[in-house]
Structure 1
């Protein structure tokens, strides 16, 4: 009985802490896709964003001229530039790079699929924000540095990046399927002002269609991570640290994660789940997988109950709960 009362006390404390604003996964985020044509004739980016439940607009480089920097900042959380555009696109976009830089510096995210030399024949005419450029160089294999796995496709990447900022995170590099070539980074992430830029020479739009399910999963992970980054900057963690006790919050999110996980397992194994389409199940599992990944990060320094006062545990455990909650929401909504 004491344990129950203790948890109720903690729960009421959590509800009464008005200074805290919980993240809602990628709910409410909005992306602007810039393209003149479908990269390799596929609308891959739109398909992935739709599966993630993320709202988006599509605009040509010429139409972008009608928007000011303030328009972009007030409307979008991320701008995604598609690969393989015609030359008119790159010619129209080049003079507007400063506007995109200001968008990023304000705390937003720019995701550049920089693979050109494609079916539509366009070539980048300017450097990317921060002076980064892409050099032509085809590779059928690209190595994901974070987890040590390989991506394979018929031309997995069309180039590697040069003038890489010293503090950039190297996400993928080209290679031969056995040995990574760290001198040829094909995907990087770097800070610019209060925001960040992701640039990649990977053929996402083509390879998601033909390269295997790992391509779509990887693209989804990058997009979700970028949208979460935008949210993270808005939330100002330093202010959160002063407003509440991490022990209480970590205990709360641990209990909520466990309850949501039990709910997910119950729903996923139910007869009703067998009647759902594959797309719905894949979306639910995608959110569940992200939840498990963040939970694993929360336990990197040992069991959670030994580190309840850790801000690192708080950041990752909180995300783990929100993603498993999103997974449950997908199933519950589909089941009616």
Structure 2
């Protein structure tokens, strides 16, 4: 997936409008706060799209403009140790992580919160699952305000005229609980969405035990400027948190549907405007081999673009027709791309996966007792209209299994059943080798008292229990079809696994593991497959904890979301600018979309030399290993010759080849140029409409040479 938000494909630069104008309210008057060129004094984005920039040297990105309100604002009366107050009305609606607020709370510990107040003194890193959430932290530490501690107060005030009003909170002349300080800092919330933290003086206080940043309402997303780090907060520092002007996202990503031959499936997608300005998005489908068309939300009209106001979203429909003649399990993996008309460098590509499948048509359930006194398996088979027969331990080794697509062995059986199962392992193995699927649970030692020891297909197990489960392969069909499974739902009951696998077939794919080892595995033997697991998933489904049992039951031989080996290389094209004898770095991402781990060979085609580096920039590399369903980043460092002149350029192809399948290769282009300074200045005067920055960084021996982004 290729989410090309501002800065996301680079470490230090922005990929949208080259000069940004923000405003600062000074005593009710709107003045330009800064003309902001691209520089390294930035951070983000977080998942929502917030970034930060500050006024640190050598290239300040914002201007420090302290607004003193201790004589004009309201003394909140919030004072003491670990005390909060509110709600305090802002006088306008402020949007924060997609939610709108008209009031807020703040406390003596340098924290602003939305929705509710807190006196919390235990600062954490950002983001954090622990409370509090939904906050702005200009200096979150154990602080104290007012009588008994210092002469400080907390003031607030609304300034300006709609739509450019500003709400200001100032912690004035306060100290830490231990007396370090005095400190005066403030938060400025712009009606247009920007957030500022400014520090007039910090005195003897340090940032070594403080958190600075923002976090959403669930604690799942946030943007950290500093956490318990000395020297990051000092006098006359200004930090601005903001969301990009143009940004877009598409959900769900991926969209996965399954159907029969000669049917047309409708993928319902939502296009969201995550930026701060209205926008229209061009819509396109690429990478598809089956007929795919884009419609309006009702599926009535073909469309090629969609207008979405800022902060809003709209729905579209992608119709994909499954042709005749394709094989069971074949799929079409297309990309729906929404591109901003205001800035063509801003786009989002979501995967649209359409798979030809059929449910199992004939299943046998072998058991002597319902596991955990629950008929979860029978309910699921009935729910999906799948016919099934039931057999007991007396039928094992006797009944003809050849008519059945799948044989299911549940967890928690009595010992007589496990004795019959272990005595007939070759019988089950023959069924699998002939093309059948054996779905068996090793979750024994349950309510029915049986203990399972020996397993078919090269598996072995231990009986230790656990309730800490992690999905290792989120792209596997056990994890996605038809339900998206999360780690948390597999951890939500006591002893969610009864055992783990200590021995596996050589071709086994581990889908999930508990704290001891693999607990959900798929493997191939002959013409068939084993689905093996220690999850007591019948209990999980019956008690409403997890739907993973549905996914396992509905999975069939040949049902694959992704091929054995497949990959995607992004971004497909980048521009970079540098000077003679300098280096320009491009960050690229390999997504392993196959069900197998893979190692990729890295090479290039171009005139100027390219060196490949690991993402930490610690060593040269020629290959990159990426686990199935995961991503891997690397740096392509292009070296500009010492004799290069302004206007010289090189267009390099960055080539990635799969070692798992030599027929699979991807390439991306990197354009590097030594620019004409005069031409750049002309562009500056006209708003730089022709310039776009996509480089990661540039380092040269001369510190006065521009280091990243457009030259200046």
Q: How would you bin the TM-score normalised by the shorter chain?
A: 0.5 to 0.7
Matched, 1:192 2:525: yes
Structure-2 residue corresponding to 1:102: 430
Structure-1 residue corresponding to 2:371: 39
Of Structure 1 and Structure 2, the greater helix share is in 1
Structure-2 residue corresponding to 1:130: 457
The Cα offsets for residues 119-159 of structure 1, whole Å up to 9 and x where unpaired, read as 0110114x222231221111112112223633121211011
Q: Where does structure 2 lack aligned partners over 5 or more consecutive residues? A: 1-290, 292-322, 330-355, 475-485, 561-628, 630-663, 665-712
1:219 to 537, 549, 556: 549
Is the 8 Å Cα contact of residues 461 and 500 (structure 2) preserved in structure 1?
yes
Alpha-carbon distance in 1 for matches of 2:470, 2:494: 15
Alpha-carbon distance in 1 for matches of 2:359, 2:420: 32
* Equivalent runs, 1:156-305 vs 2, <5 Å: 156-175=496-515, 184-210=517-543, 212=545, 215-216=546-547, 218-225=548-555, 227=556, 229=557
Q: 1:34 to 1:28 in 2, by over 3 A?
A: closer
Stretch of structure 1 that moved more, 28-37 or 17-26:
17-26
SS of the residue corresponding to residue 46 of structure 1 reads: helix
Alpha-carbon distance in 2 for matches of 1:46, 1:163: 30
Is the 8 Å Cα contact of residues 109 and 230 (structure 1) preserved in structure 2?
no
Structure-1 residue corresponding to 2:396: 64
Report how far residue 26 of structure 1 moved.
3.2
Q: Which of these two proteins has the greater Rg computed from alpha carbons?
A: 2
Report how far residue 220 of structure 1 moved.
1.4
The Cα offsets for residues 1-34 of structure 1, whole Å up to 9 and x where unpaired, read as xxxxxxxxx9xxxxxx986677874356111111
Of Structure 1 and Structure 2, the greater strand share is in 2
Is the 8 Å Cα contact of residues 444 and 452 (structure 2) preserved in structure 1?
yes
Aligned pair count reads: 205
Is the 8 Å Cα contact of residues 34 and 79 (structure 1) preserved in structure 2?
yes
SS of the residue corresponding to residue 431 of structure 2 reads: helix
Alpha-carbon distance in 2 for matches of 1:95, 1:34: 15
Alpha-carbon distance in 2 for matches of 1:119, 1:160: 19
Is the 8 Å Cα contact of residues 367 and 413 (structure 2) preserved in structure 1?
yes
Q: 1:18 to 1:220 in 2, by over 3 A?
A: closer
Alpha-carbon distance in 1 for matches of 2:447, 2:418: 14
Report the TM-score when normalising by structure 2: 0.27
Q: Where does structure 1 lack aligned partners over 5 or more consecutive residues? A: 1-9, 11-16, 176-180, 233-296, 298-311, 313-336
SS of the residue corresponding to residue 205 of structure 1 reads: helix
Alpha-carbon RMSD across the aligned residues, in angstroms, is 2.8
Report how far residue 116 of structure 1 moved.
0.2
Report the TM-score when normalising by structure 1: 0.55
